[in-house]
Structure formats: C-alpha cells, structure tokens
Amino acid sequence: MKQDKREVSLVLVNLALLLVQFAFAGLAVFARVGTGTMQPVTFATLRAALATPFIWLLSRFVESEVSISQLLDGAYLKIIMLSILGITVNQLCWIHGVKFTSAVNAGIYQPLIPIYTSLICILTRKEKFNLLKFVGICVSIAGALVVLRVENLDLGSSFETTMGNLLLLGNTLGYSLYLIYQKPLLQANPYPFTYTFICFFFGGFFIFFFSLFYLEGYQDLPNAGVMSVVSVLYSGLVGTFFGHSVNIWALKHTNSSLVAIYICLQPALISLLSYIFLDEVITIRDLIGVIIIIIGLLIVIRVNFVESSSPPPSKDGYEAISDTPPNPLLQSIELREIPLSSPSSPSSSPPPPPSSSSSSTTTTYLTLSK
C-alpha cells in the first residue's frame, strides 16, 4: 500500500510540473505581445505586482499557522539572495537578453538550466551522480535544441548581441541557483507558498526600483491595447502566480534536477501554443525534437522514481542502511555470566546467572545458543 501512495505522489508531482511548463510556455507567447507595446521592465513590474498579492492570499489560506517573521528569523539574508536570484536577476536578465538578442537566442539558452542545476547539485553533493539520469538530461536538451534551431544562435555579431548573450547566461544561472538553494529552506520549513510570497515581495520591489529608470514606460500605459492588458493579466495570474506556486510545491516533493529538466518541454509547448494562437507552422523537425525531449524526460522520471524508492539519506548525507538481514552466526552469540565456584558435578549446560545478593565472583563468557 505504501508503494501505491508513493506512485500517486510522483504522478501528481510530474503532472504539476507539466502544467507549470504549459503556464510558462503561454507566458512566453503573451509576453511577446505585451512587450510589443510597453517597456519590458514595465511589463515585468506589472507582472510581479499583479501576482504577489494573490500569492500572499494563497499562503495565508493554506499556511496560516506560520508567520512571515518566523521564516525570516535566521534566514533573512538567504531569502533576500534567493529573491534577487530567482525573481529580480532571472526576470530582468531574460527581458533585456531578449531585447538585445532575439527570442531564438533566449529560447536556446533555457536548456542550460537543467545542466547548471545537475552539475551544481553534484559538485555541492546535494544529489548523487547518476549516469542514466545525466544521459536523460542530455537527451532532453538535445531535443530542445532541435526544436529551437540551435544553428540560428547568434554568438556575437555586435556588442549588443554579446551583452544580450551574457544576460541570458545570467538569467539561466540565476534560476538554477534559485531552484537549488530554495530546496534546503523548504526541507527545514515546509511552507512553499509563504516562501514564494517573500521572494516575490522583495524581488518585485527590486524590479520596481529598476523600472524607475524607465519612467517613459509608465507614461505609455494609457495607449496600451486590449491584448496588452490581456497579456499582463495572463502573465501575472497564470504564468507567475499559478506557475511559480505550483512549481515550488513540486520542488518541495522532489529534487531540483527533476524540476529543472521539465524546462526542456517549453520549446515544444511554445511551438504548440504559437500554432494555436499565432498561426505559426509546426514542422517535422519540431515533432522529432518533441519525441527526443519526451524520451529523455521519461528516463529522468524513471531514475527519479527508483531513487525515491531507495532508503532515505541520513543526516550526514550518506544513505541509511535498513532492512538488512542480520548475520545468523552473530545472531546466535549471547552473553552469559557463570560463577567461578567449583561445581560439585559437571553439568551439561552452564548454570543460571547468580542473583544480585550473591557475593561470589563472576566472569562473562561468550556462548553460542542452540
């Protein structure tokens, strides 16, 4: 019965991660519309400002027993750094990376997130190296690059392109570190929605502060069309509130590598949504890339299930040894106390231990029980 509960739990986690990627893929499509009529940093500020109150309401409804001050106590600097990495750096680097390069470049860099995540987890000994999992990650990344047309990557035809590529590297590295170092906080205090609210509160504040250097973006808001308003609503409520809330819930129940590998599905889902909403064409190459991504993803999911079935790690990081049958020879050894008095006649079995009131000297022998 325990096996069935674990399988259901893993199914829910993987289904949640799949829904998150649909939300993030839609975010990429709607952001393309929204940033066409407003400054990218203004769009990011409105997105965070809309999502943060809803994340707070969710945290108070689900996790009302914990206060924000409790989580900040002793972890203030860690949470501030996570806010900067996962919200401020991640979003601003992505938006300006797209501005200085192209959406193609931005998409091609996203599969670096599972690579960064896996390598950092292995090097910091947060996860064990598993060759099959690493192969699955590489297969999924290869499929994502097939869909994204990696041959179109512009490595630096101009100074702006070079800057854009560096910003996209910062975007992917920042999000990887956000996934990795948020996991220990969740293990110590399992309140994912409250942590997400705190990160968005501080991260959104830094984004707003940065947007003050682009005040013309706010001046253009009255001229924004209906689709721009729809794109902000989707980005704030679905792409950010729903996407980040469900993503951190999944991170609470699995490892950082599995959460990161699902990002490889985004190019395929973006192509699907672009076909539905933007009348873009899906090619045979896209379908082949999707199949490759799914094969790699299934490998990682299978490895993750096997690892979750193994004994849990102990506090010092080593695997706990459990359910090991005892050595039958050692099991037959027992301690008995035998008095040193001279027996009147030999006995076939050792006499029973003397009572506590006896003053005779005793010694201890190892005997084998029958």
* 49-88 burial code (b ≥16 CB/10 A, e <16): bbbbebbbebbeeebeebebeebeeebeeebbebbbbbbb
pLDDT at residue 91, as a whole number? 85
pLDDT for 350: 54
- How confident is the model at residue 156, as a pLDDT? 62
**Looking at residue 233, what is its pLDDT?**
92
What is the C-alpha separation between 102 and 293, in angstroms, rounded?
23
CA-to-CA distance for 261 and 293, rounded, in angstroms?
Answer: 10
The residues facing 364 across adjacent strands are 337
Q: How far is CA 319 from CA 124, 310, 322, in A?
A: 16, 9, 9
Task: Show the tokens assigned to 5.
Answer: 């509960």
- The C-alpha atoms of residue 239 and residue 51 are separated, in whole angstroms, by 9
Residue 6 confidence (pLDDT):
46
**Alpha carbon distance 218, 232 (integer Å):** 14
| SS3 state at 333 | strand
From first to last of its 370 residues, the chain has per-residue pLDDT tens of 444 444 447 888 889 999 998 888 887 777 777 777 778 888 889 999 999 999 999 999 998 888 888 888 777 888 888 899 889 988 888 877 777 776 666 777 778 888 888 888 888 887 788 888 888 888 888 888 887 777 766 666 677 778 888 888 888 888 888 888 888 888 787 888 988 899 999 999 999 998 888 777 777 777 777 888 888 899 999 989 999 999 988 888 888 888 888 888 887 887 787 777 766 677 888 888 888 888 888 888 888 777 766 655 444 433 443 444 444 444 444 445 445 444 444 444 555 555 444 444 444 444 444 4
Sign of CA dihedral 103, 108, 111, 116: negative
Question: What pLDDT is stored for residue 319 in this prediction?
Answer: 41
**Look-up: residue for tokens 């390069």?**
101
Determine the pLDDT at residue 308.
67
CA distance 305 to 127: 14
Verdict on whether the full-model pTM lies above 0.85 = no
For position 242, what pLDDT does the model report?
94
Nearest to 130 by CA among 259, 251, 300, 250: 300
With contact defined as beta carbons under 8 Å apart, do 109 and 229 qualify? no
Nearest to 32 by CA among 104, 113, 80, 132: 104
Residue with tokens 């110590």: 188
Answer positive or negative: Cα dihedral of 290, 295, 300, 302: positive
